[in-house]
Amino acid sequence: MTHDIGESRVTLEIADNRNLQDFKRELQEAFSAAVMDEVGSVPDQSIPSDDDIEQSFNAAGAVTYHILLDGTRVGGVVLTIDPISHHNSLDLFYISIRQHGRGIGQRAWHAIEARYPDTKVWQTFTPYFEKRNIHFYVNKCGFKIVEYYNAYNPLPHQPPLQGMPDDGDFFRFEKLMQDGR
């Protein structure tokens, strides 16, 4: 799937198993940079953990893509697609830290939406401290914050995350698509 803006082309390419270690490393690098910006240091463990990433790769309905800019890998995304309910999930999404601020994330999101035009609802989560992500999802992509997870309302099916700023609080976002588009 391609999304053109100006001279640059943002495309999605299915990731194969041979590329998943690089995908994981780049994803963790991007997520660690966000934590570093917030607290000035990176926790001892990888964020997200190898196990969390592997679970996302192997979840029922999961699809993993590389995000390409003019044919060069600049990011990646893991989606969970439900072809029956059309309630889909953006599970992991990153743009290489060397590519931030160029509008690639927004163009990638438009390519994802175009790839799955029957989607009724998109859902995603992001940590409370991640202001850049919150801005991106709400102001650039049209998501709404629909739930706040914290000590009084913990993430379902998830143990509390250790070593995260703001005690591991999260927001859940949804984007309702018009007419399944």
pLDDT number for residue 45: 56
What is the pLDDT at residue 84? Answer: 96
3-class DSSP assignment, residue 150: strand
What does pTM read for this prediction? 0.85
pLDDT (0 to 100) of residue 4: 45
**DSSP assignment of 55-75, as one string?**
HHHHSTTEEEEEEEETTEEEE
> What does the pLDDT read at residue 56?
92
pLDDT at 36: 64
Terminal CA-to-CA distance of the chain, rounded, Å? 15
Q: Which helix H or strand E contains 21, and what residues bound it? A: helix 20-39
pLDDT at residue 62, as a whole number = 97
Structural domains of the chain sorted by starting position, each given as residue range(s) with its CATH number in brackets: 2-180 (3.40.630.30)
The rounded average pLDDT for each run of 10 residues, N- to C-terminus, in the chain (181 residues) is 64 92 89 67 66 91 96 96 97 90 93 97 91 93 95 73 62 86 48
Q: ω before 48 within 30° of 0 (cis)?
A: yes
